[in-house]
A and B are shown apart, each in its own frame.
Chain A
Amino acid sequence: MTISSLPPGLILVFGALLLPVAGSLIRPLLVLALPLLTIWQVWHMPDGSSAALVIMGHDIIAVRVDALSRLFAIIFSLMAFAGGLFALNQKRTLELVAAFTYAGSAVGVAFAGDLITLFVFWEIMALGSTIVLLSADTPQASKAAMRYFVVHMFGGALMLTGIFLFVFDTGGVAFSAMKPDTAATALILAGVLVNAAAPPFSSWLGDAYPEASWSGTVFLSAFTTKAAVYVLIRGFPGTEILIFVGVFMIFYGITMALLENDMRRILAYSIVNQVGFMVTGIGIGTEMALNGAAAHAFAHIIYKALLLMSAGSVLYMTGKRKCTDLGGLFQSMPLTTLCGTIGALAISAFPWTSGFVSKSMINQAAANEHLALLWFCLMAASAGVFLHAGIKFPWFVFFQKDSGLRPKDPPWNMRLAMILFSAFCIGIGVWPEYLYALLPYAVDYEPYTDAHVLNAMQLLLFAGLAFFIMLPMMKRTLTISLDTDWFYRRLAPAIINRLATVIGNADQAIRQRFMGALNGVVNYVWQHHGPEGSMARTWTTGNMVLLVTIFLCVYLVFSFI
């Protein structure tokens, strides 16, 4: 085993263990250096794969390097760097340890060349992200973390069962493109889709992510769903059902975000929406669509983290998270407002931002394949993104009514992280060729034609007009929206409580009857064998002699027969 066959993600996973023991001077240096070291190693790894181990006759390819794995490994490491910078003043070191383990295992997933390695890193991700959630140290976060963990263990169980069947069917563990036409591959796909927040499990994301700390949600937004996107690109390109799954996710995200009041839950729902675009692209399956999905994942991690950094800054400085409590913050938090707005423009795919150069490839791929209905859905959805995230988030948090709050911009490290990712959002949008050069297939697409820019501006700005026309209907209320998590948060406990009552009553009745019967027996025995019972009475000597004589006579008679 050489150093190049060791997964680069282990730098973050094992490096994270040093964070609690490092002093307060060394820890920030480690937090910044570990992701940079990972990026450096990823960048310098040559294409190819090598078997590091053999387990039960199967080659374990822990590192398989190609353009796709490199792209995802780079963005996961870059995210760990910016997230670490943003979280430098997070006092709970456990959160950073968990976040780096989580990020490192996401890099591990990106390089996994076989299903066993994939599964191991997949589960470490679930564990790491659960601990990130738990680190928020609130009762709501603890409960949400448990629900999150159970859903992800379920997804993991589906995947593991699929992998077992896959090994049984094919005799190998290689992780490459497959079709979900056997029980094995269908189960693997289902397990991956749980992590991608696909229906009917979209609700775990909106339930869990907003409960993490101001810095925890930034990490959570980046890895789980995008690792799932990576696995789908690698494992299930061109699987038609993904188009339907993706379109559902897109409109689910828009609708739920439009109804939401919690600023970070708005952004959580919009993660499902954006992952929906990627899943749709993977379902289309052409080179342009897959490039678009991969590029969009890369761009999305950056602008979504940026949006959640600006929301995290607001939470950090005000302690408030509901749109109804916020507003007017642009006056005292100019930098946070600016960065949040750049993130909002990028997620809306505004020209000269990162979202424009990535998402338009997916839309173009749908047009190239003459998928008319899908294309009209994607166009409407693109407008809808501006509506629910592009305007709604900055408007209700930084503008709208004056809440009277006058918090300052957050500390320098948080500001720096936001500036860094804002620069990336604009840089990728203005110079897309650098991102395109990293994509899995050669790019034959020009995003900046007059028509593309004008059409996008019309679509988005008229969506903006619709927002302000409909503003009275968009007024925030102190409400939440029921989702499929209702089934395990309300229905299942209600059924279990009901069952517990029925079973409890039945148990009580059965025990009462049993005890009644037992009492009857005891009374009967007491009656005959108790101190006053006929069998326990003292007999006279004469009676005893008579009885013995009778027995002897009977014995005598029997001995002669």
Chain B
Amino acid sequence: MTETPANSKTLETDSATSATSAAPAAKLHWLVRKGTIKVLWVLGLSFLAVLVYLDGSLTPHPHFGIDGTFGFHAWYGLLTCIAMVLVAKLLGKFIGRKDTYYDD
């Protein structure tokens, strides 16, 4: 696509901003600082643990047996997603082409 940016003036001034943003670590947005990311990982994993823990407080109503086991939705979601990424990567080896493949 060769569509031009709608607001090239904004982009010019923006590129000046980006030059400054790339430099010192102190200028990094708080959300992408290493410390914040670490805190987000800790909070995220704790939340996941709480979610699994809460499973014990529910009376299971399984439809098919295995879905009533402890933390089913957690491990099932994790494992199937890892499997899907692996399958997609494998498939990508066969059907992946450079993105200029159809350009002629």
**B-binding residues in A (CB < 8 A):** 136, 138, 140-141, 211, 213-214, 251, 254-255, 258-259, 261-262, 315-319, 321-322, 328, 330-332, 367, 370, 372, 375-376, 379-380, 383-384, 386-387, 399, 402, 404-408, 410, 450-451, 454-467, 469-470, 473-474, 477-483, 489-490
Contacts and interface: CB of A to CB of B under 8 A. Distances in A.
- Residue of B4, B47, B73, B75 with most chain A CB atoms under a 10 A cut-off: B73
A330 B14 contact: no
Given A375-B63, A461-B47, A478-B99, A317 B73 contact: no
B81 A387 contact: yes
Given A459-B76, A462-B73, 4 more contacts: A317-B6, A380-B84, A454-B55, A459-B77
A490 B72 CA distance: 45
Contacts of B84: 251, 254-255, 258, 380, 384, 387
B51 A463 contact: no
B32 to A, nearest CB: 7
Interface residues on B, range: 35 or more
A138 B3 contact: yes
B81 to A, nearest CB: 3
Contact of A466 (B17, B22, B82, B99): B82
A255 B77 contact: no
B63 to A, nearest CB: 4
Interface in B45-90: 45, 47-48, 51-52, 54-55, 58, 60-61, 63-64, 67, 71-78, 80-82, 84-89
Interface of B: 1-7, 10-11, 14-15, 17-19, 21-22, 29, 31-32, 44-45, 47-48, 51-52, 54-55, 58, 60-61, 63-64, 67, 71-78, 80-82, 84-89, 91-92, 95-99, 101-102
A402 B101 contact: no
Determine chain B's interface SS by DSSP, over half rule.
helix
Contacts of B52: 458
Contacts of B22: 402, 404
B70 to A, nearest CB: 11
Contacts of B1: 136, 138, 140-141, 211, 315, 319, 321
B97 A480 contact: yes
Nearest to B80: A380
B92 A479 contact: yes
A454 B97 contact: no
Contacts of B31: 330
Contact of A479 (B7, B64, B75, B99): B99
B61 A451 contact: yes
